[in-house]
C-alpha cells in the first residue's frame, strides 16, 4: 500500500510540473508493472473540443511504447466510437467494466478487444472518472489490458480507486490547458492567441506593428445568399475560406478576422525591411486565386455557380491589440492602412482586376506590377496610385 501512495504522490507531482499526458502514462505504466501488474497495454481516453477531433487516447504498450490516437468527427469516427468499450460504458451509464478476453468476452462486439486477444491479452478493464457539472472535459477513462494467466486480481481492481482520482485530475489539468491554448488559436490565430495568453487582455492594450495586409472579398455573395439555402451557402463559404486561409498560413501570415464574406490577414514585417513580408503576402494571394479558380472549375462542372474573389495587398503601420467593450473584446488590427486596403478593394470591379495593391506595396517589387490608375479613396485626403499585376506576372503559381 505504501508503494501505491508513492505512485499517487508521483502522479500529483507530475500533474503540477508536466504538460505531457504521454509522460505521465508512461511513468504510471512502468510503476504499475513494478507493483506486479501484468500489463500489456494501458490507455487514457479523454473528450475534447476541436473542429477536427472529438476526443483522443494516449496508449502505452509493453511492445511499442507510447502513442496518441485522435478520434475524428464525422460518420467514420462515430462508427468506430460506437464499436468501442468506452461507448458501452457511456451508453449504459457505467463507470467500470471488465472483460475476460481469454473466455472470449467482448471480442466479437469490440474490435479493440479482439485485437488485444490476438496480442495475448487475457483481460481488459476500463474505469471512468467523471467530473460532475463539467461541460467540456466530462471525465477521464483509464484502461488496462493484461496478459497474466489469471488476469487482474480483485486487489488490483480495487487499487484503481486509490490512484485514478489523482491521475484523472492530472490529465484534466493538462488537457484543460491544451484546450484553452489550441481553441484560442483556432479562433484568433497562433500569434494573437500567444499575446492573449501572455496577459495582453486589457481593453486598449496592444502595440503598433508594421505589416503587409491581405484583404480578400468574395464577389456577389449577397445575391447568392438570396438564391440558395443557407446550408449550401455556408458550405461554399467554408470552401473558399479554406482556399484563402490555407494560402495565408502556408506563407507565414495570420488570419485576424472573417467578416461576412471577407478575410483580413496580416504578415508582420520589419519596418526597415518589409519586402520579405510583402513577397509572402503576394505569394499567398496568387496561391489563393489559383485555389479559388480550381474550386470554381469543380463547382461549374457540378452545375453550381462560381464565386470569384478580389484581393487587395497593402503594407503599413497598424494597431494590433484589444478593441471592444469592457467584457467583450476583439484582438484585431485597425488603423489607416487597414482602412485604405478596404477602400482599394472597392475599386476591383471598377478597373476589372481581381488583385490590386497599393503604391507602398508595389514599391518593394521591380517588375511585378503596373500602375492601374490614380484614385480618390473615400476618407483619404491624398489621391492614391493603385497597381495591378503586370502581364508577365499573371500566371498561376505551382499548387
Same domain membership, residue 78 and residue 20: yes
Low-confidence ranges of the chain (pLDDT < 50): 396-399
Give the separation between CA 229 and CA 129, rounded to whole angstroms.
43
CATH number where 355 lies? 3.30.70.1230
Is there a single domain that holds both residue 109 and residue 227?
no
Residue 396: per-residue pLDDT: 47
Q: Read off the CATH number of the domain in which 76 is found.
A: 3.30.450.40
Q: Which helix (H) or strand (E) holds 176?
A: helix 154-188
Instruction: Tell whether 10 and 126 lie within a shared domain.
Output: yes
Has residue 398 been placed in a domain? Answer: no
- Please tell me whether residues 67 and 96 are part of one structural domain: yes
Please count the other Cβ atoms lying within 10 Å of the Cβ belonging to residue 227: 9
Domain boundary among 187, 219, 243: 187
Q: How many domains does the chain have?
A: 2
Q: Do both 7 and 64 map to the same domain?
A: yes
Spell out the long-range contacts of 26-34 with Cβ–Cβ below 8 A and sequence spacing 24 or more. Answer: 26/60, 26/65, 26/66, 28/163, 28/167, 29/60, 31/7, 32/7, 32/144, 33/62, 34/3
Q: Same domain for 160 and 210? A: no
pLDDT, tens digit, 9 for 90 and up, residues 59-114: 999 888 999 887 766 666 677 788 899 989 989 999 999 999 999 999 999 999 99
167 contacts 12 by C-beta, under 8 angstroms: no
| Same structural domain, 177 and 222 | no
Note whether residue 336 is domain-resident.
Answer: yes
- Phi, psi values for residue 100, rounded to 5°: -80, 95
CB 179 within 8 A of CB 148: no
The CA distance from 109 to 135, in Å, is 30
**Mean model confidence pLDDT for the chain:** 88
Q: In what order do the strands lie in the sheet with 53-61?
A: 65-72, 53-61, 39-50, 139-146, 123-130, 96-100
Q: Which residue has the cell 476618407?
A: 379
Rounded distance between C-alpha atoms, residue 250 and residue 252, angstroms:
6
Q: Which residue has the cell 491521475?
A: 167
Q: In the listed set 187, 214, 249, which residue is the last one of a domain according to the structure?
A: 187
* Residue 256 falls inside a structural domain: yes
Residue 38 belongs to some domain of the structure: yes
For residue 268, the SS3 value is strand
pLDDT at position 157, please? Answer: 93
Q: Give the Cα separation of 63 and 303 in Å (integer).
A: 53
191 phi, psi to nearest 5 deg: -65, -45
298 and 269 in a common domain: yes
128 Cα distance to chain centroid:
27
Residue 200: inside a domain, yes or no? no
Give me the pLDDT at residue 78, please. 75
Polymer length of the chain: 399
Tell me, what's the pLDDT at 122? 96
Would you say the C-alpha torsion 80, 84, 90, 91 has a positive or negative sign? Answer: positive
Kindly state whether residues 178 and 259 are assigned to the same domain.
no
State whether 353 and 388 are in the same domain.
Answer: yes
- Give residue 48's domain range: 2-187
> Do 314 and 341 form a contact (C-beta atoms < 8 A)?
yes
Does residue 329 form part of some domain?
Answer: yes
Which residue, of 129, 155, 187, is where some domain finishes?
187
Q: Are residues 282 and 150 in the same domain?
A: no
The reported pTM is 0.70
Amino acid at each position: 500500500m505504501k508503494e501505491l501512495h508513492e505512485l499517487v504522490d508521483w502522479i500529483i507531482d507530475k500533474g503540477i510540473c508536466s504538460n505531457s499526458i504521454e509522460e505521465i502514462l508512461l511513468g504510471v505504466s512502468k510503476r504499475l508493472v513494478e507493483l506486479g501488474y501484468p500489463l500489456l497495454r494501458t490507455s487514457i481516453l479523454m473528450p475534447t473540443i476541436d473542429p477536427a477531433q472529438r476526443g483522443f487516447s494516449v496508449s502505452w504498450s509493453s511492445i511499442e511504447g507510447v502513442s496518441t490516437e485522435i478520434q475524428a468527427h464525422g460518420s467514420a469516427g462515430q462508427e468506430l466510437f460506437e464499436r468501442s468499450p468506452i461507448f458501452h460504458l457511456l451508453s449504459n451509464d457505467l463507470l467500470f467494466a471488465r472483460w475476460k478476453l481469454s473466455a472470449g468476452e467482448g471480442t466479437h462486439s469490440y474490435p479493440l478487444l479482439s485485437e488485444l486477444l490476438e496480442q495475448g491479452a487475457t483481460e481488459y478493464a476500463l474505469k471512468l472518472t467523471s467530473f460532475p457539472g463539467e461541460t467540456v472535459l466530462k471525465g477521464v477513462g483509464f484502461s488496462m489490458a493484461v496478459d497474466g494467466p489469471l488476469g487482474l486480481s480483485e486487489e488490483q481492481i480495487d487499487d484503481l480507486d486509490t490512484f485514478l482520482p489523482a491521475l484523472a485530475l492530472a490529465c484534466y489539468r493538462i488537457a484543460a490547458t491544451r484546450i484553452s491554448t489550441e481553441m484560442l488559436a483556432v479562433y484568433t490565430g497562433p500569434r494573437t492567441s500567444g499575446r492573449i495568453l501572455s496577459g495582453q487582455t486589457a481593453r486598449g492594450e496592444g502595440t503598433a506593428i508594421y505589416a503587409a495586409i491581405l484583404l480578400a472579398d468574395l464577389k456577389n455573395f449577397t445575391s447568392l445568399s438570396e438564391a440558395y439555402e443557407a446550408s449550401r451557402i455556408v458550405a461554399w463559404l467554408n470552401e473558399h475560406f479554406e482556399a484563402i486561409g490555407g494560402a495565408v498560413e502556408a506563407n507565414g501570415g495570420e488570419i485576424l478576422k472573417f467578416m461576412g464574406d471577407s478575410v483580413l490577414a496580416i504578415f508582420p514585417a520589419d519596418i526597415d525591411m518589409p519586402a520579405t513580408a510583402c513577397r509572402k503576402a503576394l505569394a499567398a494571394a496568387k496561391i489563393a486565386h489559383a485555389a479559388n479558380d480550381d474550386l470554381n472549375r469543380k463547382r461549374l462542372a457540378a452545375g453550381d455557380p462560381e464565386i470569384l474573389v478580389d484581393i487587395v495587398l497593402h503594407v503599413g503601420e497598424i494597431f494590433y491589440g484589444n478593441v471592444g467593450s469592457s467584457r467583450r473584446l476583439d484582438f484585431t488590427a485597425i488603423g489607416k492602412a487597414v482602412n485604405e486596403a478596404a477602400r482599394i478593394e472597392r475599386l476591383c470591379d471598377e478597373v476589372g482586376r481581381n488583385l490590386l495593391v497599393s503604391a507602398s506595396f508595389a514599391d518593394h517589387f521591380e517588375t511585378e506590377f503596373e500602375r492601374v490608375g490614380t484614385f480618390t479613396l473615400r476618407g483619404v485626403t491624398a489621391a492614391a496610385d493603385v497597381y495591378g499585376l503586370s502581364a508577365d506576372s499573371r500566371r498561376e503559381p505551382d499548387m
